[in-house]
């Protein structure tokens, strides 16, 4: 990391290669103090291995919240990993991309400016109450409307065309 920063290179953080109790979300703000941009290789670590299909979990939510909260969307580049030998790549890609977009959308619904104002005023009760209320925001309704407007299938509706493609095309590959 120091080598890359000292030479003006973009650092890449790989979420699947940190200790299970570490989060790359915690490192984003710190690194961007010293670098103009940052690359994230978002994968899902599984025990000793990584590069598994990205899912909507606490780690992904934390990454999305850190990027959105501090308006880092122009400075943080997110690359996703879809390796999982047990499922087809199209399903892996779809699951990972949808999970990441949903995490970013959910982060955009959080009233971070309001929370920051409460912190500045010392209103820690209001901040905590707001953070708790955010947990039950109707993110799924917003997600469904986003999918509808984007002309993409809702929830698991995308699975049937993927399975048809798998049967028609992928099953013929050796």
Q: 20 vs 27, which has greater pLDDT?
A: 27
Instruction: Give the pLDDT score at 137.
Output: 83
Domains of the chain: 2-172 (3.20.20.150)
Kindly give the residue spans of alpha helices, DSSP state H, lying in the chain.
2-6, 25-31, 58-69, 89-109, 112-121, 124-134, 139-150, 159-168
Question: How far apart, in whole angstroms, are the C-alpha atoms of residue 68 and residue 62?
Answer: 10
Q: 143 vs 47, which has greater pLDDT?
A: 143
Question: How far apart, in whole angstroms, are the C-alpha atoms of residue 162 and residue 132?
Answer: 37
| In contact, 109 and 137? CB cutoff 8 Å | yes
The predicted model gives 155-173 an average pLDDT of: 87
Q: 113 vs 18, which has greater pLDDT?
A: 113
pTM as predicted: 0.86
The predicted model gives 57-67 an average pLDDT of: 94
Instruction: Give the pLDDT score at 44.
Output: 83
Q: How confident is the model at residue 48 (pLDDT cuts 50, 70, 90)?
A: low
CA dihedral 86, 169, 80, 23 (to 10 degrees): -20
Question: How far apart, in whole angstroms, are the C-alpha atoms of residue 110 and residue 89?
Answer: 32
Q: How confident is the model at residue 52 (pLDDT cuts 50, 70, 90)?
A: confident
Q: 86 vs 114, which has greater pLDDT?
A: 114
pLDDT at 174 over 70: no
pLDDT at 50 over 60: no
| In contact, 13 and 35? CB cutoff 8 Å | no
Question: How far apart, in whole angstroms, are the C-alpha atoms of residue 117 and residue 123?
Answer: 8
Q: 169 vs 51, which has greater pLDDT?
A: 169
Q: How confident is the model at residue 33 (pLDDT cuts 50, 70, 90)?
A: very high
Q: Where is 14: in which H helix or E strand? A: strand 11-14
Q: How confident is the model at residue 47 (pLDDT cuts 50, 70, 90)?
A: low
């Amino acid at each position: 990391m120091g080598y890359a920063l000292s030479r003006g290179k973009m650092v890449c953080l790989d979420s699947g290669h940190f200790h299970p109790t570490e989060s790359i979300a915690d490192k984003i703000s710190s690194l961007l103090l010293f670098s103009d941009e940052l690359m994230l290789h978002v994968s899902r670590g599984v025990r000793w291995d990584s590069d598994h299909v990205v899912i909507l979990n606490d780690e992904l939510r934390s990454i999305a919240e850190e990027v959105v909260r501090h308006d880092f969307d122009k400075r943080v580049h997110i690359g996703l990993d879809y390796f999982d030998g047990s499922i087809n790549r199209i399903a892996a890609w779809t699951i990972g991309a949808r999970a990441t977009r949903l995490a970013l959308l959910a982060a955009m619904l959080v009233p971070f400016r309001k929370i920051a104002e409460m912190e500045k005023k010392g209103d820690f009760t209001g901040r905590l109450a707001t953070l708790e209320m955010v947990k039950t925001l109707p993110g799924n309704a917003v997600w469904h409307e986003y999918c509808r407007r984007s002309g993409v299938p809702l929830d698991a509706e995308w699975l049937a065309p993927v399975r048809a493609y798998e049967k028609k095309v992928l099953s013929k590959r050796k």
